[in-house]
Amino acid sequence: MALAEFLQQLDDLASAADQAFGSAGDSDSLEAARVEYLGAKQGRLKAVQKQMGRVDPGDRRSAGMRFNQVKQQIEAAFQAATERLADGGSTVQQGAHFDHSLPGTPLRVGRLHPITQTIEELKDIMGRLGFSAAEGPEIEDQWHNFEALNIPHEHPARDPLDNFYLSSAEKTTGDTPLLLRSQTSTVQIRVMENTPPPVRIISLGRVYRPDTADATHYPMFHQMEGLLIDRQVTMADLKSVLRLFAASYLGGDVHIRFRPSFFPFTEPSVEVDYHWNDQWIEFGGAGMVDPNVLQAVGYDPEEVIGFAFGLGVERLCMRRHRINDIREFYKNDVRFLHQF
């Protein structure tokens, strides 16, 4: 027998056995296939092996090597079919059982924190009113957090009990310790120091105060600072901008009011409240920029004038989404966070 003929027989046998073991749907048909192909006496593999004696003597070595390969291949196919049935697979291919109509395993997709979403929206609204966004550092020096804002050395706002001073910085900078900024008004100064008038910016970011946490206070919170400096600016402009902003973010039906107040860096000054649940809740401070502040940054108060405001971002977001406790934002409870 020619070698080619023998090898052809082996190949045919290998693919037939593969097919038989692969399609065995239960242990009975698998056993029948095993006897047919691997049976010690009557098996088809055995029958082919017997043919090997008829192969030309010079080719027997090659025939034997190929026979051993095919034998291993058929035994492996039988082993795989045995494991498949033991795993509970009762048919040919598991794919046949795949139900395309079943719902998939949902992936938990993350999302932006409600305060981050609020910041983006506030930037959007103020952008439409012509204010561009500026940034400043969260670790500040006394000049930007106090002095340039007309808050002198002896002012109670600088009390260590009301601020997070950095003790390590104290060692390196002598008697002017750095601090975590207590307000975003610092950015007013930084922008004016570096930009000639006119100026029309907002700045959104974190501020820090050692306030005890309650429903409306948190030791770390966010503010949106606004600053507009030009030649002719009045308190009416300030009120219009804040009313437009509040109507845009909180809805046209929101009631806001301006209360006379005091800030060292504005004159006159107001506090701004919204109405919610039968009470007025303060959400920001504002006023006309004090001439001393303009002077501190090198502007001429005879030439330019402006207004500034600082609003609590959490308080705005709370009113918008009817959240009655600021602490919810920072508990990191996904059941709360996933609602936004």
Find the binder of ligand FA5 among 123, 200, 209, 243 (CB under 6 A).
209
Does 118 sit near ligand FA5 (CB under 6 A)? no
Inter-axis angle of helices 114-128 and 313-321, nearest 10: 100
Beta bridge partners of 272: 258, 284
Restricting to residues 170-189, which ones interact with ligand FA5 according to CB under 6 A? 183, 185
What backbone phi and psi angles, to 5 degrees, belong to 223?
Answer: -125, 155
Tokens of 293: 């502040």
Return the range that interacts with ligand FA5 (CB under 6 A); candidates 59-67, 76-84, 160-168, 311-319: 311-319
CA distance 292 to 289: 8
Residue 44 vs 222, nearer CB to ligand FA5: 222
DSSP secondary structure code for residue 267 in this structure: E
Measured from the CB atom, is 18 or 314 closer to ligand FA5?
A: 314
Angle at 263 between CA 258 and CA 265, to 5 degrees: 120
Token pair recorded at residue 192: 């004016």
Give dist(CA 53, CA 46) in Å, integer: 12
Minimum CB distance to ligand FA5 smaller for 74 or for 288: 288
- CB contact at 8 A, 10 and 70: yes
**What track of x and - describes contact with ligand FA5 for positions 239 through 278 (by CB under 6 A)?**
------------------------x--x--x---------
Give the chain's radius of gyration (CA, Å): 40
Q: With beta carbons less than 8 A apart as the criterion, state whether 162 and 182 touch.
A: yes
Sites for ligand FA5 among residues 21-40 (CB under 6 A): none
Among 95-103, 159-167, 195-203, 216-224, the segment contacting ligand FA5 (CB under 6 A): 216-224
For residue 314, count CB atoms less than 10 angstroms from its CB and return exposed for 0-12, middle for 13-18, buried for 19 or more: buried
Query: Min. distance of Cβ 105 from ligand FA5 in angstroms?
Result: 40
CA distance 305 to 299: 9
CB 204 within 8 A of CB 292: no
Nearer to ligand FA5, 190 or 315 (CB): 315
Residue 197 engages ligand FA5 in binding (rule: CB under 6 A): no
Alpha-carbon span 146 to 138, nearest angstrom:
14
Which range of residues in 7-15, 29-37, 283-291, 331-339 is near ligand FA5 by CB under 6 A?
Answer: 283-291
Burial of 22 (0-12, 13-18, 19+ CB in 10 A): middle
# residues contacting ligand FA5 (CB under 6 A): 24
Q: Closest residue (Cβ) to ligand FA5?
A: 312
- Candidates 131, 181, 310, 318: give the one binding ligand FA5 (CB under 6 A): 310
Q: Take residue 255 and report the two structure tokens written for it.
A: 């009631």
Which amino acid is located at 51 in the chain?
Answer: Q
Question: 127-166 mask for ligand FA5 (x: CB under 6 A)?
Answer: ----------------------------------------
- Binds ligand FA5 (CB under 6 A): choice among 286, 294, 304, 305: 286
The one segment of 19-27, 69-77, 248-256, 285-293 that binds ligand FA5 by CB under 6 A: 285-293
Near ligand FA5 by CB under 6 A: residue from 177, 205, 285, 306:
285
State the residues that interact with ligand FA5 by CB under 6 A: 183, 185, 209, 211, 217-218, 221, 223, 263, 266, 269, 282-287, 308-310, 312, 314-315, 326
